[in-house]
Every structure is written in C-alpha cells, then in structure tokens.
Chains A and B, each alone.
Chain A
Amino acid sequence: MPYKHTDSNTCSDVGLIVTGNDLSQLFSDAAVGLIAVTAEPEELVEQKAVDLKLAAESLEDLFYSWLSEVVYLKDAQNLLVCRCEISISQEPPFMLTGKVYGDIIDRMRHTLKVDVKAVTYYRLRVEKKNDHWEAEAVLDL
C-alpha cells in the first residue's frame, strides 16, 4: 500500500505517511489515504468528479492545501475522494491542477469510521528521497 496510518504522538489523532514515484502519485495516494481513515476505499464507487486548481509558495503548503481540500469536499459535498488525475509543477510557484473522482457518502452502503476534521502542520513534510517522494501529515480527528 502506498500509504500507512501511524501513531501521531498527539494521542487523539492519526499520522499519514505516503510514498510515490512522482509528486502526482504521492499527492493522489495521500488523498486516498486520508479518506481511508474515514471510509473503506474498496467500498467507494466513482460517482462524481470535481475540477481543482491550487497554488502555494512551497510543496508543503501545496500538500496542506490539497489535503485540506479533500477534507472540505467530504464535508461540503459529501464527496469521498477515491481517485485523482492531477499534475503538479515542481518549480515555484507550485501549482496543482486536475480532477478528483469520488463517491457520495451513503450511510447504508459505506462502512464509515472516524471523521477527519482537519489537516495539521504537525510533522508536515514533502521530501525527495533518492528515486522516490515521501510525505507525511497528521490528521485532526
């Protein structure tokens, strides 16, 4: 699995660590990994697509904005993101453009777990490690 959920050291929350061959894959898997805290990914069916365009001054800030957007879509549009088609510019200004696909929350059909309420800056990082990328975020539950 390209993501794992970890102890966050803050007791009440959960950490998310993701690896990817490139930034697009890294960010996509992070979004799926975030939603996996709340719902079972295998139960999700693509029902809706949303276009997104984000910009930030650093990759970490872009990662924060991206995951925050996934949380926002869950609450405001009941959208559980399960697949992403995105591209990310690796040079400043950092831009993310593309589309996310997801399922609409259905309390009868989905095994719903604990809600992700926010993304934090605690231990937030996006790093290039030899031939791959790695990112970490702690999610407020």
Chain B
Amino acid sequence: MNRKSVVKVTENIWEISPDYKAGMIVPARIYSSPELIDGIDEKVIDQITNVACLPGIQKYSYCMPDGHVGYGFPIGGVAAFDIEGGIISPGGIGFDINCGMRLLRTNLTLDDIRPKLETLLDDLFTTIPSGVGSSGYVKLNNSQFRQIMKNGVGWCVENGYASDSDCEHIENNGCLDHADPDAVSAKAVSRGINQMGTLGSGNHYLEVEIAAPENIFDRKAAEQFGIHMDNQVLISIHCGSRGFGHQIATDYLQTFGKCAAKYGLVVRDKELMSAPIDSEEGRRYFNAMACAANAAFVNRQLIVHGVRASFERVFKGASARPLIETIYDVAHNIAKREVYEIDGRKKTVLVHRKGATRSFGPGSREIPEKYRSVGQPVIVGGSMESGSALLRGTEIADNTTFGSSLHGAGRTMSRIKAKQKMHGGEVKSRMKERGILVKTGYMKGLSEEAGYAYKNIDQVIEAVDTAGISKKVARFYPVLNIKG
C-alpha cells in the first residue's frame, strides 16, 4: 500500500480516493486519530477498498477507529447498500451474527459489593455457562427455539425471563420482525438449541464494573441512562448468537459462492461473497440473519436472568434487594434496513455494521423515549483489563456514517503472540494487583485476551468523540471478570 494514498481530511478522518483501486465505486474513509492511524494494518486498507467496489454501495466505505483485519470487511467496517441494485454480504456482518453488548445498572455501589466480591465472582461463574461445550440452563425443544427465532426477547417476556423494561431497552426491542425460521437450516438449529444463555469463549465476557465519579464525562446523559450514584455497580455482557449464527453464516457463504456467477458478481475475496438484496438467496439470508439476531438478543437476556438470580443469592438479606435493570443492548454485527438522505433524497439502504455500533442521535424514534433527549447509548467493550465505555449517539453520525460508530478497543496482537508474551497466571496476578478478579475455565486464554493485545480504548473513544460520531458519557473500570 502506498501510504500517500491515505489522505487526511480532518483531524480524525482519512480518505482513500476511488483512484486507489480499479472497481472502487466510492471513496473509503477511516475514522482514527494521529496516534492510531500509523498503526493501521495495510490489509485493512485492502479490505475497505474491496468493500468500496461492491455493487450499490453509497457515499463511503467506512472503517471505525477500532478497526482491524477481519474476513471480507474489516472489523469496524460500515457500508450501506442501495436496496435497489445493492448487495447483502455475510462478510459485512460477521460469523457471530448480532454479537453485541448489554449494559446493566444496579442499585448497588462498590461499598455494597466489596465484602462479597469473591463470592459474587464464584456464583456468577457457576451460574453463567461459559467456555467450550457449555449448555444453557433453559432446555428448549424445536418449537420453542422456533419461537425464539421469530419473536426474540418477546419469548423471554412471555416465559418470565425478561421484563417489559428489558424489552424496551434493547435495539429493535429485541426482535427483528423479518425473521423467517424456514430460511434457517436444521444444522444451524441443532448447533444453537442447547447454547442459549451461554457466554461462549474467545473475547466474550461478563464483567462487573464501577462508574467512578471522576470517569463521568457527561453527567446529564449518564443520569438519563440511570447512572447517578458515585461508584455505582454496572454489569456488561459481551456475546452473540453462538454456534447458531456461525452456522447460518457458513451455510450462506456456501450458497452465495454458488450463485455469484448467476448474478454477475465479481468475487475479489471469497469472504466478501454476496447476493443481490432483492434476490431469493439475498432475501433468505437477510431473514435467516434476523433469526440469529433474535437468538442473540435472547442469549444475552437469558444471561441477564442468570445474573439477577446470582445477585439475589449473594446479597440475600441485604438492606436493599438488588435491582438490576437494562440500560441498553446493542448489536455490533448486523445488517439493518434504514432510511437516509443521500444526494438530496430519502433512500432506503441496507447498512452493514461489522464490529460497529448503531449510534443514533437525539430525537430518533428508534431509541427509547427517555433517551431521546441525549441520543442512543453506544456501549463500547474494552479489554478485560481496561473496562468498557458508554457513549451516546449523535446527529453527526446520522448525517455522516449512516448512524454508526465504534464497538470496542480493537485487537492489535494475534492470540499466538499474546500467549508468548505472558502466562495466563501472570495476567491473573497482574489484574488482581489492580483490583480485578478474573475467573476462567481456560487459564492460558487469559493471556490471549490480556490488555496488551488490544488498542488503548481511551484513544479509540477519543477519536470518535472528536469526530463527533458519538460522544463520551462515562468510562467504567472492572472489578470482576468472567471469561469463557
């Protein structure tokens, strides 16, 4: 790559013109910072410029500041395709469909939980299934799983695993209404049916975090999101649709590979295989993807149910009963049909967000009414050593990045290199010295997920804050972490 091709547009935006590569329909734009842009992998440039060649792409092929190499799209990739003539691509959504973040608030403070931290860690670890081969505590039959695919968190409300308030504070109220279980293979169902309510492994986690007063940057927004006590205890959950979503992605990558020639699509990268949105194959994938998205919302909700039970047990007899409420739940691997003004007219597009979060600004009817004065909560997961961050959506995002922003810190180091740098036990001790207790079924995996394997989350959120596509509300530091 010729770095001269990456031209600075503003303090936080870099652009690559369509002259860079034959076939580019639009320019590519990288949201970053002077500190982060030098570290961007050349393969990321290759990937966002490949995306810029896909039929129907609108305005720009974007990469967020947490961007790193993915399959097809980079992680942190955002692209919108005209529903007339545009494509849908599993590589723009990710294998883990609706991998996302749930953020919960409690009525507890650090002082309330400090005496019972180890007990709470053990109870959460026992209650929330994680790691290889784990199965959920809810035993489902095919008919129930079909209802989950179709109704998402509505199924949890009907069956006592969610409140109406949970439902109201989830993207799309926890249900994409175009889900079609008939578009899903029997193999996908058999991979997913026993995994609902499980964290999985890899970079997925459950974390108990603290909102320290010095880390609240926007008090009005924080209060609107229900964060109003000094050192309030929060819980963040990062996971997705488990094997179910992965099987759907695997199935449709194979389907799209077979139909690319029929639709005259040029395949630059097999991970970018796609189908016209308005084709039989494209429609079926979009509707199967919705089934996986709904299952992922349910997966996180069943984990929330387990978290509530765990807190009830550990704090039984305490002066105040633990109250755990959903602040918000966002998808960061998904494609959504949305309407934007493009070239002076309203256009319906299919926005692919892969490792990118929706970031709708104040006033959006798509977000809970009580958040409309400040914008949508944007939940950003960091490494297990850095904790997470809460931002809010903006009008700038609505008008520039198809209402999208970052999703996490973004990896900088391979798992093999991270493992060579430090032993899991050392990482655990280092975290304990800093007041973070961690529990995992795979100790060596801790080094794969250590803080040094990720970008500096503060630099990453600063980049989007300065660019204005989401604004900082608060940073949270971890005290307990469960890794799959």
Q: Chain A interface (Cβ within 8 Å of chain B)?
A: 5-14, 38-39, 57, 61, 64-65, 68, 71-72, 75-76, 78, 105, 107, 112-115, 117-122, 124, 138, 140-141
Contacts and interface: CB of A to CB of B under 8 A. Distances in A.
Q: Which of B131, B202, B203 has the most CB of A within 10 A?
A: B202
B308 interface: no
A113 B442 contact: yes
B324 interface: no
Interface stretch (B106-114, B247-255, B467-475): B247-255
Given A76-B190, A118-B246, A122-B270, 15 more contacts: A6-B416, A9-B43, A11-B411, A11-B412, A11-B453, A12-B411, A13-B415, A14-B416, A39-B132, A78-B133, A105-B132, A114-B201, A115-B201, A121-B269, A124-B270
Contacts of A115: 131-132, 200-202, 484
Contact of B202 (A5, A114, A119): A114
Given A6-B416, A76-B187, A112-B442, A118 B249 contact: yes
B243 interface: yes
A121 B132 contact: no
B70 interface: yes
Interface of B: 43, 68-71, 75, 95-96, 131-134, 187, 190-191, 195, 200-203, 243, 246-247, 249-250, 253-254, 257-258, 269-271, 273, 411-417, 441-442, 444-445, 448, 453, 484
Nearest to A65: B254
B195 to A, nearest CB: 7
Contact of B442 (A14, A61, A72, A114): A114
Contact of B69 (A9, A38, A64): A9
Nearest to A140: B95
Q: Which 8 A-B pairs have the closest CB atoms?
A: A121-B270, A105-B133, A75-B243, A11-B411, A112-B132, A76-B190, A115-B201, A75-B191
Nearest to A121: B270
A5 B69 CA distance: 19
Contacts of B253: 121
13 contacts: A9-B43, A9-B414, A11-B413, A13-B415, A38-B132, A39-B132, A75-B243, A107-B131, A114-B202, A115-B484, A117-B200, A117-B243, A117-B246
A13 B69 CA distance: 10
Contacts of A6: 416
Given A72-B191, A113-B445, A61 B257 contact: yes
Contacts of A120: 71, 95, 271
A115 B191 CA distance: 13
A113 B187 contact: no
Contacts of A72: 187, 191, 247
Contacts of B250: 68, 118-119
Given A118-B246, A121-B270, A140 B71 contact: yes
Contacts of A112: 131-133, 441-442
A122 B71 contact: yes
A117 B95 contact: yes
A72 B249 CA distance: 13
Q: Which of A6, A13, A121, A122 has the most CB of B within 10 A?
A: A121
